[in-house]
């Protein structure tokens, strides 16, 4: 992972994050959605992956008490397969443990096999199916869960 650093997301990152989002998802979040997450740091945390000072990926997290949710993670198509998503997940797990989160969840499209593989490799396992959860195209979502070691 040469020249990759993970930093807290700032307003300066949002235009590029929105561009990556639009390239990666058929129903992308708006720039405003990302900005709203930045405005409420009590329960939302976002990190950005930078390569040579250029935004190449991001992760968005929700946390409340001992519950956490991975809301969104993406890496720009030209920077995939370089360990960036893994680095973002590692940072997320570190934060969640610091916040005493003991359980994380996420949803993933049934067709997104590469993401499912990454999540499984990181200890997530499927716990439910949400029928027709996604649109464009309509598709089921797999709910996955991971237990985190409780830190004292």
What is the pLDDT confidence band of residue 149, given thresholds at 50, 70 and 90? Answer: confident
Cα atoms in the Cβ-side hemisphere of radius 13 Å centred on 145: 9
Tell me the pLDDT tens digit for each residue of 99-110. Answer: 999 999 999 999
- Residue 152 inside a domain? The answer is no
Residue 134 annotated as catalytic = no
* Domains in the chain, number: 1
**Set 21, 44, 69, 119: catalytic member:** 119
Whether 69 is a known active-site residue: answer no
- What is the C-alpha to C-alpha distance for residues 16 and 67, in angstroms, rounded to an integer? 29
Which pTM does this prediction carry? 0.92
Residue 48 domain-assigned (yes or no): yes
What CATH number corresponds to the domain at position 78? Answer: 3.40.630.30
CA–CA distance, 40 with 24 (Å, rounded to integer): 25
**Residue 58 domain-assigned?**
yes
Percent of the chain with pLDDT over 70: 97
d(CA 65, CA 141): 25
Give a yes or no: residue 101 inside a domain. Answer: yes
The encoded tokens of residue 133 equal 């959860």
Q: Are strands 4-8 and 44-51 parallel, antiparallel or unpaired?
A: antiparallel
Domain-located, residue 142: yes
DSSP structural state of residue 40: -
First to last CA, the chain: 32
Provide the residue range defining the domain that includes 54: 4-147
Per annotation, catalytic residue among 107, 133, 139, 145: 107
110 within some domain: yes
């Amino acid at each position: 992972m040469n020249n990759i650093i993970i930093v807290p997301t700032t307003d300066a990152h949002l235009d590029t994050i929105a561009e990556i989002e639009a390239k990666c998802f058929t129903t992308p979040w708006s720039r405003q959605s990302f900005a709203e997450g930045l405005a409420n740091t009590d329960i939302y945390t976002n990190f950005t992956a930078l390569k040579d000072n250029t935004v190449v990926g991001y992760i968005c997290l929700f946390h409340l008490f001992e519950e956490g949710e991975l809301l969104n993670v993406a890496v720009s198509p030209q920077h995939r397969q370089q360990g960036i998503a893994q680095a973002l997940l590692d940072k997320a797990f570190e934060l969640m443990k610091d916040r005493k989160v003991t359980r994380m969840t996420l949803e993933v499209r049934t067709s997104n096999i590469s993401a499912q593989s990454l999540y499984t490799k990181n200890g997530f396992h499927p716990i439910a199916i949400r029928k027709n959860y996604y649109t464009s195209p309509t598709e089921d979502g797999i709910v996955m869960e991971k237990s985190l070691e409780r830190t004292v």
